[in-house]
């Protein structure tokens, strides 16, 4: 109990302490996950729309694979990226293992199925109607895609936030490919693991509270969007 | 509805901006971009064990190196098994580990070059204060005997179980005692030293730990030292450069400077001083030759 109370106290003093290391940890978490969402969005949203609406051979299989990958264990995504980026692996010449770049790659791998999957599910029913309307109004291919994105912006927005949430709160992948290097690849979740391992439970809880609060804010907005 | 959407995007953008600010400052000070001091080195990746990081030793001594060579040392703290694997795969430039037999094999197999002893501390067997197996009276300083008493009484024992240097040492001790540890009482945790000590603390189990990690956490633990001083529990740390000929991209120059630095008299003294103020004893005893 004492630890939890100290954690709350610690969380407040962490946020207002002006401690550069803490800010850099929080900042890196937000930044890495934000970039991951941006990158993933660029191809996952169009992919979701296309898979959701088009008929093509093996479509059912593709949908099944995406749905399965939505539950991809983070540490497996991390291990996969690790083996590719290791100097003895096929992409080892890049030399980006244990950098934020590697963390972004792992997170993109992790959240793309989620963004694709949610987008796919949301356009499935009403998408064709929107598409046909746009088509009869004389829209070209790119314009149709754009209209669809605009029309389904709410659920696409939700998918992005879900992806962001997954990315910023997972620990297995970033621990493995980032290496939890102090001041370089240490993010909130890996810092929590480290503090826990060192027995600094109050510090771990404090960072956890910061993470939860950020997520709480994001969720309020998400709910408003969905409720509106 | 649209308003909230815009708000979301706005908020995410603010997050990104906010995070760009302070996060940049402590980023690696790229030596290339600074006015070249004596010898600009690229960032060095040091694969090491959780004990050197969790005890706070590296935080204490590394700034001296980073300042001296205006570079940065990226510390990846994992079990000795994983650290060696990183060395084999060329994912680290230099290793600071503790499993002497494996280290020598590592060098003989050509994965590493130029191994040096750096320092030692010792392993101890800790357990709950009331000591249900009575190790303190019966085992004395005999680690193997202590383990046989634990297994005879089937009192809970927490093992790292992660192929780390500490885990390897623990297995050596079981072997010395002629026991194959098995059963409900033998709990293989599969985590770092700190996590294992927390586990033992919660479960009122015995465990074997390096002294440094135990001392640095002793405030939070109810565990007490029960067996210490056995020569078998000597814990030697060694530094090894990863063989730069095995992989491209190894920071050879950086590894050379690092090894020179850590075995220098000045740094050996720093290692000896570390922890004296706080714990009244050195956590690590330097012994570079």
CATH code at position A181: 1.10.3720.10
- The CATH H-level (homologous superfamily) assignment of domain B122-234 is Periplasmic binding protein-like II (3.40.190.10)
Q: What is the mean pLDDT of residues B108-133?
A: 93
Q: Which domain covers residue A151, as residue numbers?
A: 27-186
Give B21's contacts in chain A (Cβ within 8 Å): 27
Q: Tell me: pLDDT of A18 over 80.
A: no
Interchain CB distance below 8 Å, B247 and A88: yes
Question: Please, what sign has the CA dihedral across residues B249, B250, B251, B252?
Answer: negative
Q: When comparing pLDDT for A171 and B141, which is higher?
A: A171
- Give CA–CA dist A175/A68, Å, rounded: 23
Question: Could you tell me which chain B residue has the CA closest to the CA of A99?
Answer: B74
Give A153's contacts in chain B (Cβ within 8 Å): 5
pLDDT band at B26 (very low <50, low <70, confident <90, very high): very low
For domain B42-121+236-286, the CATH class is alpha beta
pLDDT band at B117 (very low <50, low <70, confident <90, very high): very high
Q: What percent of chain A has pLDDT over 90?
A: 46
> Chain B contact for A80, CB < 8 A?
no
User: pLDDT averaged over chain B?
Assistant: 85
Q: What is the mean pLDDT of residues A123-128?
A: 86
Task: Write the pLDDT tens digit of every residue in B184-210.
Answer: 899 888 888 888 998 899 889 999 998
Q: Tell me: pLDDT of B142 over 80.
A: yes
Task: Provide the shortest C-alpha distance from residue B210 to chain A (in Å).
Answer: 14
Domain boundaries, chain B: 42-121+236-286, 122-234
Can you give the pLDDT at residue A23?
A: 87
Can you give the pLDDT at residue B8?
A: 54
- Give CA–CA dist A117/A159, Å, rounded: 8
What are the φ/ψ torsions at residue B226 (nearest 5 degrees)? -115, -40
Can you give the pLDDT at residue B29?
A: 43
Q: What percent of chain B has pLDDT over 70?
A: 87
Task: Write the pLDDT tens digit of every residue in A41-59.
Answer: 999 999 999 999 888 899 9
Task: Write the pLDDT tens digit of every residue in A57-98.
Answer: 999 999 999 999 999 999 999 999 999 999 888 998 898 988
Can you give the pLDDT at residue B57?
A: 93
Can you give the pLDDT at residue A13?
A: 82
Can you give the pLDDT at residue B35?
A: 43
> Is A197 among the domain residues?
no
Number of domains in chain A: 1
Query: Pick from A161, A184, A197: which is nearest to B194 by CB?
Result: A197
Look up residue B269 and give its two tokens. 């003294």
Can you give the pLDDT at residue B4?
A: 55
Q: Tell me: pLDDT of B249 over 90.
A: no
> Chain B contact for A30, CB < 8 A?
yes
Task: Write the pLDDT tens digit of every residue in B34-47.
Answer: 444 455 788 999 99
What are the φ/ψ torsions at residue B283 (nearest 5 degrees)? -80, -30
Interchain CB distance below 8 Å, A31 and B12: no
> Chain A contact for B90, CB < 8 A?
yes
Can you give the pLDDT at residue B34?
A: 44
Bridge partners, B206 (sequence order): B157
Q: What is the mean pLDDT of residues B247-265?
A: 93
The continuous run of DSSP H or E covering B117 comes out as strand B112-127
Q: What is the mean pLDDT of residues B263-281?
A: 90
Q: Report the b/e string of B129-156 with b at 16+ CB within 10 A.
A: eeeebebeeebeebbbbbbbbbbeeebb
- Give CA–CA dist A63/B160, Å, rounded: 42
Interchain CB distance below 8 Å, A30 and B18: yes
pLDDT band at A200 (very low <50, low <70, confident <90, very high): confident
Task: Write the pLDDT tens digit of every residue in A159-174.
Answer: 998 999 999 999 999 9
Task: Write the pLDDT tens digit of every residue in B213-234.
Answer: 898 888 889 999 999 988 888 8
Mutate to test the interface with A, among B10, B13, B16 (most CBs of A within 10 A): B16
Can you give the pLDDT at residue B31?
A: 44
What are the φ/ψ torsions at residue B109 (nearest 5 degrees)? -80, 0
Task: Write the pLDDT tens digit of every residue in A202-223.
Answer: 788 888 988 998 888 878 877 7
Q: Tell me: pLDDT of A199 over 60.
A: yes
Task: Write the pLDDT tens digit of every residue in B71-96.
Answer: 999 999 988 888 999 999 999 999 99
Can you give the pLDDT at residue B9?
A: 54
Does B122-234 match B42-121+236-286 at the fold level? yes
Q: Which residue has the tokens 């030692």?
A: B120
Which of B215, B219, B207 lies closest to B133, judged by CA? B207
């Amino acid at each position: 109990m004492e630890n939890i109370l100290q954690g709350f106290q610690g969380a407040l003093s962490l946020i207002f302490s002006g401690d550069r290391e803490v800010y850099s940890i929080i900042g890196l978490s937000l930044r890495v996950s934000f970039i991951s969402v941006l990158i993933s969005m660029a191809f996952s949203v169009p992919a979701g729309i296309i898979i959701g609406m088009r008929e093509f051979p093996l479509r059912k299989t593709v949908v099944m694979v995406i749905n399965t990958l939505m539950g991809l264990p983070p540490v497996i995504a991390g291990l996969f990226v690790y083996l590719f980026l290791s100097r003895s692996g096929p992409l080892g010449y890049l030399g980006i293992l244990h950098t934020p770049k590697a963390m972004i790659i792992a997170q993109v791998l992790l959240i793309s199925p989620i963004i694709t999957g949610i987008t796919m599910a949301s356009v499935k029913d009403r998408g064709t109607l929107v598409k046909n309307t746009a088509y009869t109004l004389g829209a070209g291919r790119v314009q149709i895609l754009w209209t669809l994105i605009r029309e389904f912006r709410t659920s696409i927005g939700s998918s992005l936030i879900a992806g962001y949430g997954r990315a910023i709160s997972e620990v297995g992948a970033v621990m493995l490919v980032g290496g939890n290097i102090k001041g370089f690849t240490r993010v909130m979740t890996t810092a929590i693991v480290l503090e826990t391992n060192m027995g600094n439970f109050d510090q771990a809880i404090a960072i956890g509270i910061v993470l939860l609060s950020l997520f709480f804010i994001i969720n309020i907005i998400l709910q408003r969007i969905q409720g509106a | 509805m649209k308003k909230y959407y815009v708000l979301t995007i706005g908020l995410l953008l603010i997050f990104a901006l906010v995070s760009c600010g302070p996060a940049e400052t402590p980023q690696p000070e790229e030596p290339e971009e600074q006015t070249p001091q004596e010898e600009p080195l690229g960032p060095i990746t040091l694969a090491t064990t959780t004990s050197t990081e969790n005890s706070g030793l590296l935080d204490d001594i590394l700034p001296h190196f980073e300042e001296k060579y205006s570079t940065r040392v990226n510390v990846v703290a994992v079990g000795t098994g994983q650290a060696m694997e990183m060395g084999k795969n060329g994912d680290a430039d230099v290793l600071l580990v503790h499993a002497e037999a494996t280290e020598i094999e590592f060098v003989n197999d050509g994965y590493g070059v130029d191994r040096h002893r750096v320092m030692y501390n010792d392993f101890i067997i800790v357990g709950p204060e009331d000591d249900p197996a009575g190790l303190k009276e019966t085992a004395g300083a005999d680690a193997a005997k202590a383990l046989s008493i634990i297994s005879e009484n089937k009192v809970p024992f927490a093992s790292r179980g992660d192929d780390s240097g500490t885990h390897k040492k623990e297995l050596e001790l079981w072997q010395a005692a002629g026991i194959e540890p098995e059963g409900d009482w033998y709990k293989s945790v599969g985590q770092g030293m700190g996590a294992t000590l927390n586990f033992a603390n919660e479960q009122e189990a015995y465990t074997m730990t390096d002294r440094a990690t135990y001392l640095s956490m002793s405030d939070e633990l109810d565990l007490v030292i029960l067996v210490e001083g056995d020569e078998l529990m000597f814990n030697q740390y060694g530094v090894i450069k990863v063989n730069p000929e095995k992989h491209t991209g190894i920071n050879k120059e950086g590894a050379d400077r690092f090894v020179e630095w850590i075995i220098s008299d000045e740094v050996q003294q720093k290692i000896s001083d570390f922890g004296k103020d706080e714990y009244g004893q050195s956590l690590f005893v330097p012994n570079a030759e």
